[in-house]
Structure 1
Amino acid sequence: MGEQNRGRTTAISGISADVDAWALHESLPATLPADEILAVNRPKPDLHTRRTYLYNGWSFELPPGVFMPGETSRMIHDRLLDGTIPVAGRSYAAMGAGLGVEAVVAGVREAREIYAVDVDPDSVQAVAEHYARIVGERPGTVFRPLVSDLFDQLPGSAKVDVITFNPPAVREQVSDDPTVVRNVCVGIGIAMRFFDQIVQRDLLTADGEVYLIVSNTAEMRDIVKYAIESGFTPEVIHRQTWDTDNVQTYLFKLRRQMAA
């Protein structure tokens, strides 16, 4: 769903990993109708201006064209910060790093290695500047900002323990602005390529985890189906609903089923 703040929230968490993957898949909500998707993903008029974002007492300056994090992004930020998504001492890839909140939190949480990856050069520059100012040089942590289409520019030998991604998988095209399209509504294909590259490049360590945000403004059931068929076992870490619409947003943890 779009990066917009839309009032009071209700959280439901803790759907067990022991639930059969296909039963979990069948329990997921269908994609919302087009008119509802468009209504909740109206682009903000200030996207191409300079703005400021505050999180955990830190200030982040957003260059024109870099998206302001919203409630869905904060589902990842908060869980990195509180350790629900564990990165201390681990190799971490923040896919779609945006303005760099995930990278900063991972640095503060003492990740061993941080890949801050985004297809947008302005975003990667912003990430690098925010990380240098807020975290700085930290013994035991290697920071690697990368301009990359998904994992294309990662070293071929790269192995990571944790990957987070809030993909721009909204089903409907909500704007003709290419910046909005890139950040919101590329569609299901980007999620499919994401899983394909993890498998083809054998990116995850044996106990590695993927944390993926998907809402029913995207083709959630098809995305999870593709992940299962690609060898991943999903677990629901958090489900968020709003009192203003029918959007349901899920944070999935996925582990890859390694061949014996």
Structure 2
Amino acid sequence: MTVTPADLPPVLPADHVIAINQPKADLHTYRDYSWNGMAFGLPPGVFHPGETSRMLHQRLLDGDIETRDRVYAAMGVGVGVEAVAAGLRGAHTVYALDVHPASVQATTEHYRTHVGDSSDSRFVPLVSDLFDAVPQDARLDVVTFNPPAVSQKVSDDPDIVRNVCAGAPLVITFFDQLADRDLLTEDGEVFLILSNTADLRVIIGHAAERGFTTQVHHRHDWYDGVITFLFRLTKEKS
């Protein structure tokens, strides 16, 4: 069922958004993360996956978000779990994209450790502001993005802003680049995680203006006022 902006909840009050998005104090330390028995080391500045990220991880590994034999782009790849899952699944190509060089380096190391020669997937790690570094002739079958779309600034630390609260303009540019560069294949899919800490109506409304149809693939109510959506978007046929 197609979702319109009017079907979505408004952004939560600013004070509530700020209160529930207070950053952890350990972002600038070395941390560890484990998933499905695999260890991931997080250098300073690399985002620690949370519950919303894990909504993507298992779905990529088990094929609910299908990447097998497809060209896949993990936008904002962070520590690299999405890239690893797609490689293990048997993606044709895995673009691991992040504006943060340390995240791309961490992803590369984790991909080599956990996927290595066990997959024929072509791995393409790129330091990239959204799709800027993606080759002009690339066409993508699947894109996932868990953007830092929180609507209120929760810190002056640029690493925290990059990881948490860049806001709706970043996601609007994401859709503009997808549309302007015609990056999706005919049957291409975008899986986007957003909650009502972001301005859902503005973001999904802009996606519609750029020719994308939105469906809710999964919804999770956290019972603190926050509702998280995993949206599936496809490009309308011209």
Q: Identify whether the pair has TM-score above 0.5, normalized to the shorter chain.
A: yes
Specify the alignment match of 1:157 in structure 2. 137
Aligned to 2:168: 188
Partner SS for 1:60 = strand
CA contact (8 A) 2:62 2:89 kept: no
Matching residue of 2:115: 135
Task: State yes or no: 1:249 paired with 2:234.
Answer: no
Displacement, 1:78?
A: 1.7
1:212 counterpart = 2:179: no
Identity of aligned residues (%): 57
Structure 2 segments unaligned to the other structure (5+ residues): none
Aligned-pair distance for 1:219?
0.4
Number of residues paired by the alignment?
A: 238
2:83 is matched with 103
Distance in 2, matches of 1:39 and 1:238, equals: 25
- CA distance in 2 between counterparts of 1:139 and 1:247 reads 38
Give the C-alpha shift of residue 46 in structure 1.
0.8
Runs of 4+ in 1 over 3 A off after TM superposition: none
Which residue does 1:34 correspond to in 2?
14
How big is each residue's C-alpha offset from its partner over 1:100-157, in whole Å with a ceiling of 9 and x where there is no partner? 0000000000000000000000000000000001100345310000000000001000
* CA deviation map 1:60-118 (0-9, x unaligned): 00001111000111111121122110000000000000000000000000000000000
Work out the CA distance in 1 between the residues paired with 2:134 and 2:27. 29
User: What are the within-5 Å matches in structure 2 for residues 57-96 of structure 1?
Assistant: 57-96=37-76
Q: What is the CA RMSD across the aligned residues, in angstroms?
A: 0.9
Three-state SS of the structure 1 residue aligned to 2:116 is coil
SS at match of 1:81: helix
Structure 1: runs of 5+ lacking an equivalent:
1-16
Give the letter aligned to residue 123 of structure 2.
F
C-alpha displacement of 1:221: 1.0
Q: Structure 1-normalised TM-score? A: 0.90
Which structure has more RCO (C-alpha within 8 Å, separation ≥ 6)?
Answer: 1
Kept in 1: contact 2:217–2:229 (CA 8 A): yes
Superposed displacement of residue 242, structure 1:
1.2
Over residues 145-198 of structure 1, what are the superposed CA-to-partner deviations in whole Å (9 max), with x where a residue is unaligned?
A: 000000000100000100000111111000111100011111110011000000
Residue 52, structure 1, aligned to residue 32, structure 2:
yes
